[in-house]
Amino acid sequence: MSSGTIEIRGFLQLDAFIRKRYKCMPLILEIDAPISGIDLAKQLEIPLDEVEVIFINGFVHETGAMIHPGDRMAFLPPGCPGPYRIALGFYGKNQDSEANFKIKPKTDGEEDLS
Amino acid sequence: MEQFIRVDMTTQQVTSGPLPEKYVGLGGRALTSNFVNDEVKPTCHALGKNNKLIFAPGLLSGTSAPNSGRLSVGAKSPLTGTIKECNTGGLFSQKMAKMGIKAFVVEGKPADDKFYIIKIDMNGVSIEEAPESILGGCGNYEAIQILNEKYGAKVGIALAGPAGEHRLPSANISFKDPESNIRSAGRGGLGAVMGSKNVKAIIIDDAGAKPVPVADPEKFRAAAKIFARALLDHPVAGQGLAAYGTDVLVNILNEAGGLPAHNFTAGRIDYNDNFSGETMNALITERGGDGKVSHGCHPGCIIRCSQWYPDKKGKYITSGFEYETVWGLGADAGIKDFDAIAYIDRAMDDVGVDSIEIAVAVATAMEGGLIPWGDGEGVLQIVKDMAKPTPLARIIAGGCAIVGKLCGLYRVPVVKDQAIPAYDPRAVKGIGLTYATTPMGADHTAGYCISGNILKVGADIDPLKKDGQIEYARAMQIGTAAVDSTGMCLFVYFGIADNPGGYQALIDMINAQYGLELTAEDVDKLGESVLKVERDFNKRAGFTNAHDRLPEFMEYEPIEPHNVVWDFTPEEIDEVYNF
């Protein structure tokens, strides 16, 4: 199995996270074997509940999809607005993601916002 | 009493009466589109005396429902020749609703060439000559200050900017927002319709108005609370829009290969970092001063996707700095400097033109050799010149279709002569079907909102494949037409798409306000009926299925990086409206 580099981007808050921690964007990382999006997130210390889907070479994938040397990938947190989460196919790929539409439970004494 | 007000600019007569029986139960887009279909001659000239301009708050506007301050404006469009509904934030909708005004119509056309101000308050409607100080090129920012001084800081204001005075096809109607900045009923040239009736401004003063009556206040409060929670709990509201605005889509569409660039010849750029939502957030935070990462376009907005973008010294440049504007000037026209884009956005608000139409027209003009690629300073001057307007400014403000014809181009990204926004149909096919078929001409907001049943289809959507896209585009347009009728911002979509309780809460609020028993099916039927009315107008105006097509170049020019073309057949496209 050949080794090589991958090109990593993060969007929304993960953009600032990668820039701050790795001082660059995109992050170029050497890998010696294919790696899943989940394992890559763990390696980079990106919380899994901050990744709804990943992009690999411009295609949307579930977080467990494999990234190969030479690939361009990006982590996308929940928060893409509009109908684009459906139009771009996130909806079909995020069902097993830890970040799949987390609705925060209401806490006691919360302000009435109505 | 629910009032229906007409101002005839031919005679300067005002008539006010109860809402006609046939419009009871309608609001927002449902009301404007039914009215235009009923009363506007479909074959009329959009700038002639037979066109009518109607303003209508949504069903929930003026209540405490979150995000319910949107206004619908309708007429025949001078840009597309179709029916048009434009939607805006600002102060107008809630004030109209509190005053019990269900709709306000401007019709006719004065014989003279004077410009007028229409003032609506609790004592009635008056018409007066517009002061010279707000005419002849006065920008919208200054005009709002002058009108605030004259009528009071709390009034709502709708303006035909300099572009509207000159009846330019991309002129919008500009609305004062809570801080006296500008929101826009942007697309389709309705500012030119307002200008054609010699109406420079409409002032609305709700001093003395009582709260909007609610049939069952307790039920309403309970539903509004659930609805607010559904919005705020959603990651899009909590993590996406409030922090990065709609401009967060730059990086996402770029990565997906659906960011149209260089006049729709590529789907990805390498300088997206220059003006991404993430960069916007960082710049606003770093510059401080007037800058605000998050801002609401109307009172009661809890999503707060707008922002105040400051210059390097922290001084306000523009607000409501949307993805589609940044995309058009940045990716499509190649202007790489974010501040240059911000100043152009401000200038477009100031002169009163649709920032999507102008940005796409600019990119087309660049391909046609009228403007150098990426020339931000040149574009800024052209936009400022729309206040005069110079011949080149007139051409660009004529819209993308006109620019394409004048430049002898075949690559002209329009549907029904309205510019295609920021999502390339070849790489995001569902949006392409909406662009092709919506009665409005290419409009991304025409397919923005869905009811729960689309989620079954949504799970199978691949943006590069046809499967499920017809059902997607149909459901999106039906849902959008319904939500546009409520006065709700379309961004409530997030809460109601992913949280079924949120959708039910929206319906419960309408039921509680009006004492109704509507079901989700009834709301879907409302959306379908609105689209059918709009299609009927267009058909009588001469539009056929053959107009529901994307520009031909998309069928034979693949877009990188996915190397895809637009491949829906006419028969498949026509299936979208088979309901």
Q: Higher pLDDT residue, B500 or B112?
A: B112
In the stretch 423-442 of chain B, residues with CB closer than 8 A to chain A read: 423, 428, 430-431
pLDDT at residue B458 in the model: 59
Q: Tokens representing B67? A: 């995000």
Q: Cα distance from A25 to chain B (closest Cα, Å)?
A: 9
- Whether B264 has its CB under 8 Å from any CB of chain A: the answer is no
Q: What is the domain partition of chain B in residue ranges?
A: 3-204, 239-419, 429-577
CATH of B429-577, one of 3.30.565.10, 1.10.10.10, 3.40.50.2000, 1.10.599.10: 1.10.599.10
Residue-averaged pLDDT of chain B: 94
d(CA B355, CA B163): 12
Smallest Cβ–Cβ distance between A88 and the set B65, B229, B428 belongs to B428
Q: What is the domain partition of chain A in residue ranges?
A: 4-93
| Peptide bond just before B389 cis, omega within 30 deg | yes
CATH topology for the B3-204 domain: Aldehyde Ferredoxin Oxidoreductase;  A, domain 1 (3.60.9)
Smallest Cβ–Cβ distance between B236 and the set A9, A79, A86 belongs to A79
Query: Residue type at B239?
Result: Q
- Mean pLDDT over B479-485 rounds to 92
Backbone angles phi, psi at B350, to 5 degrees: -70, -40
Smallest Cβ–Cβ distance between B448 and the set A9, A82, A88 belongs to A82
Q: Cα distance from B531 to chain A (closest Cα, Å)?
A: 19
- Mean pLDDT over B523-535 rounds to 95
Mutate to test the interface with A, among B278, B279, B293, B464 (most CBs of A within 10 A): B278
pLDDT at residue B299 in the model: 85
Query: Residue type at B334?
Result: G
Instruction: With 0.90 as the threshold, say if the pTM is over it.
Output: yes
- As a whole-number percent, the residues of chain B with pLDDT over 90 amount to 86
pLDDT at residue B86 in the model: 95
Q: Is the pLDDT of residue B350 over 80?
A: yes
Q: Cα distance from B47 to chain A (closest Cα, Å)?
A: 33
Q: Does domain A4-93 have CATH number 1.20.120.140?
A: no
Q: Cα distance from A85 to chain B (closest Cα, Å)?
A: 9
- Whether A87 has its CB under 8 Å from any CB of chain B: the answer is yes
- Whether B276 has its CB under 8 Å from any CB of chain A: the answer is yes
Q: How confident is the model at residue B428 (pLDDT cuts 50, 70, 90)?
A: very high
- Whether A13 has its CB under 8 Å from any CB of chain B: the answer is yes
Query: Residue type at B504?
Result: Q
DSSP string, B461-496: --TTS-TTHHHHHHHHHHHHHHHTTTT--GGGHHHH
pLDDT at residue B238 in the model: 61
Q: Cα distance from B242 to chain A (closest Cα, Å)?
A: 10
CATH topology for the B239-419 domain: 1.10.569
B-chain residues near A57 (CB < 8 A): 561
Alpha helix segments (H runs only) across B84-167:
92-98, 140-151, 162-165
Instruction: With beta carbons less than 8 A apart as the criterion, state whether B561 and A71 touch.
Output: no
Q: Is the pLDDT of residue A71 over 70?
A: yes
Min mean pLDDT across A109-113, B149-153, B196-200 is at A109-113
Q: What was the ipTM of the complex prediction? A: 0.92
In 3D space, the residue among B465, B476, B405, B404 whose CA is nearest the CA of residue B436 turns out to be: B476
- Whether B239 has its CB under 8 Å from any CB of chain A: the answer is yes
A113 with B455: Cβ contact below 8 A: no
- Whether B460 has its CB under 8 Å from any CB of chain A: the answer is yes
